[in-house]
Amino acid sequence: MVTMIIIRHGYSVTNREKRFTGQMDVPLDAVGVVQAQNTAKYILDTYKVDRIYASDLSRAYETARPLAEALGLEIVRRRDLREADVGIWQGKPIAEVQAEYAESFAAYKENPGLYAFEGGESYAGVVARAARAFAEIAAENEGKTVVVATHGGIVRAIRTAWDRVPLEKMKDIPHVPNASITVAEYDRGAVRWKTVGYDGHLEDKTTEEGVK
C-alpha cells in the first residue's frame, strides 16, 4: 500500500486574474506562497513523508518546495503531472473565452469529461495520463508515504480514474480548493479516500477555486 498526499497548487497569478492557465508556466502569487508554507507545516505535523513529486510547472513545484526544504528531500518533477492542455484558451480570461467561444464554453461547462480542448487535450486523455502517472509513482513507493503536488484538473482526473467514474459523470466531481490536501491509500488499484480537498490548515488564507 502507498499513502498518497495529493496537493493542489497554491493560489497563482492567473488564478487571481481569472484566466485559463492550462500548461502555461506561472508562479504563485503572494497568497499562494503563504498557502504553500502553511501546507508544509500541516504535513510536517501530521505525516511522515518519504518522497515528494510535483508537476514540472512552477506553481506546483513552488507549492511543494517549503516541505521539501524542511525535510531535506528532492522534488521529483514529472511532466505528466501537468494541468490539462487547454489549447487555444490558454492564458485567456474566462470572461473572454465565455464571450468569444460561447458554444464550446457551454459544452465544456455542461460536460467537461466529454470535452476536448481545441489545440489541446481531451479530458479522456487527461484522465488516462493521470492514471498512468500515479500508477508509476505507486509502483516506485510500495509501503511509503508520498506527496504529489499537482493541479486541480489532475486531482479531478485521478478521482475519476480511481473511482471508475464514467467520463460523462466527471462533472459531478468538484474541483478542490487551492493548496488543499487530498489523501488516499492506494493498494494495487484499490483506493481508500481518507480526505478530499481539506483546506482547514490554511486558516484565513483560503482562496476561491479560481481556474486551473
Name the DSSP letter for residue 6: E
Strands (E), 43-127: 51-55, 75-78
Q: Is 201 a catalytic residue?
A: no
Candidate list 62, 74, 83, 110, residue with the active-site label: 83
Q: Is 151 a catalytic residue?
A: no
Instruction: Give the pLDDT confidence of 38-61 residue by residue, as tens digits.
Output: 999 999 999 999 999 999 999 999
Instruction: Give the pLDDT confidence of 70-79 residue by residue, as tens digits.
Output: 999 999 999 9
Percent share of the chain, pLDDT over 70: 98
DSSP string over 83-111: PP--GGGTT-BHHHHHHHTHHHHHHHHH-
Which CATH superfamily groups domain 2-204? Phosphoglycerate mutase-like (3.40.50.1240)
Candidate list 9, 62, 121, 201, residue with the active-site label: 9
Q: Given pLDDT bands bounded at 50, 70 and 90, which one contains residue 34?
A: very high
Q: Which residues pair with 75 in a beta bridge?
A: 52
The model carries a pTM of 0.95
Instruction: Give the pLDDT confidence of 192-207 residue by residue, as tens digits.
Output: 999 999 999 998 888 8
